[in-house]
Amino acid sequence: MFQTGDYIIYGSSGVYKVESVGKLNLQGTDQSRVYYSLSSVHKIGKIYTPTDANVPMRPLITYEDAQQLISSIPSISPSHSPENNYKSLSDHYNKLLLTGCCVDLIKLLKTIYLKNEQLLKQGKPIRQVDSKFMKKAEDLLYSELSVVLGISRENISASIGQRLEMTKDQAAE
């Protein structure tokens, strides 16, 4: 169980701070259950969720793990995504997002990044499904890393962008 003051990943919604743990005195809530009161770190909003909710929640990665993750980006392989149709591609991307795993988010980002690079070289537009999932994966990953490392999301974005450029260079070899 998380404690007051802990920072967690709540589902695929992002980083939240546990403001309190206990019974809720709100109409319509089960008085026999214990709830987390969660405040979003990067967005405006609060969530009240039972501690035993069927929503994936996990602690943030450690500072050391974040440093290791960023340095290992060039060696993380992209995911092999289906090209068939919007539904199968969307399902594949969503599966990676919902794991809540930073490595899976990087796989997703690398997959879309490389795909977009190819499309741009061919003079084709970037697909909406790719843009949508890339934005969501960036938001989740950058939010967590910025809190863990204590630096702005913009600096995280630049650092990850540099690592993705290395990926593009490796793919061209």
Whole-model pTM? 0.85
DSSP secondary structure code for residue 52 in this structure: T
The helix-helix angle for 153-172 and 102-121 (nearest 10°) equals 60
Structure-block tokens of residue 30: 């089960």
Do residues 69 and 102 make contact, with C-beta atoms less than 8 angstroms apart?
yes
99-118 per-position pLDDT tens digit = 889 999 999 999 998 888 88
Q: What b-and-e string marks burial along 16-45, b requiring 16 or more CB atoms within 10 Å of the CB?
A: bbbeeeeebeeeeeeeeeebbbbebbeeee
Q: How many residues does the chain have?
A: 173
The answer to whether the Cα torsion of 54, 101, 132, 112 is positive or negative is negative
18-29 per-position pLDDT tens digit = 999 999 888 777
Whole-angstrom distance, CA of residue 163 vs CA of residue 159: 6
pLDDT of the chain along its 173 residues, tens only?
A: 999 999 999 988 899 999 999 998 887 777 889 999 999 998 888 999 999 999 889 999 999 999 999 989 889 999 877 766 778 888 989 999 888 899 999 999 999 988 888 889 999 998 898 999 999 999 999 999 999 999 988 888 887 877 777 766 565 55
* CB neighbourhood size of 4 (10 A): 12
Strand-pair partners of 39: 17, 46
